[in-house]
Amino acid sequence: MKIVTSLSFQGQCREAFEFYAKVLGGKITAAMPYGDAPPGMGMPDTDGKYKNWLMHCWLEVGDQALMGADMDTAWAHNIDKPKNGFDVTLHTNDKAQGQRWFEQLAEGGRAVMPFSETFWSPGFGSLVDKFGIPWMVNTIPSADWKPSQG
């Protein structure tokens, strides 16, 4: 089984997933705009606004994946509100890698908890990226790791 997080945007899905692919070293394997959907399968598009919005996007990073789509308030209520109740979480054994992910994802967004040592991890941080998506980056401690005595 694979559990995949699906992220929703308002016209920024392609830009966001290209950014995530660059930061995480992944590959977008599907990017289907509403304009390419068979008749009757896409969203109502009387003014062409949604033609280039993505109805499905898939990003593969190693054996993991993120899925995404563009939504509008007409069919996804609260899409225009801040994301709440979830985080996309990255785990690594390499603190330097975690720091790089955190810094890159935070560009144009905001750090919620700066990346630093905690009592459970040599490096942890949380942020909201420039697309409004909340992230946590966690360094998995080695078996012999102990927090600094501060």
- Quote the pLDDT of residue 32: 95
Q: What is the pLDDT of residues 44-96, one digit of tens each?
A: 665 688 889 999 999 999 999 999 999 988 888 888 888 888 999 999 999 99
Residue 61 vs residues 42, 79, 117: alpha-carbon distances, Å:
28, 25, 26
97 with 135, same domain: the answer is yes
119 with 144, same domain: the answer is yes
Q: Is residue 78 in some structural domain? A: no
Tokens of 104: 């890159």
Rounded CA gap, 103 and 116, in Å? 12
Write the CATH number for 17. Answer: 3.30.720.100
Q: Is residue 111 in some structural domain? A: yes
Instruction: Give me the DSSP letters along 95-137.
Output: HHHHHHHHHHHHTTSEEEEEEE--SS-SSEEEEE-TTS-EEEE
- Quote the pLDDT of residue 92: 97
Q: Is residue 100 in some structural domain? A: yes
Residue 67's SS3 state is strand
Q: Is residue 80 in some structural domain? A: no
Q: What is the count of structural domains for the chain?
A: 2
Q: Which domain holds residue 93?
A: 85-150
Tokens of 46: 């009387």
Arithmetic mean of pLDDT over the chain: 93
Q: Which of residues 28, 49, 73 is at a domain's end?
A: 73
- Quote the pLDDT of residue 85: 87
CA 96 to chain centre: 20
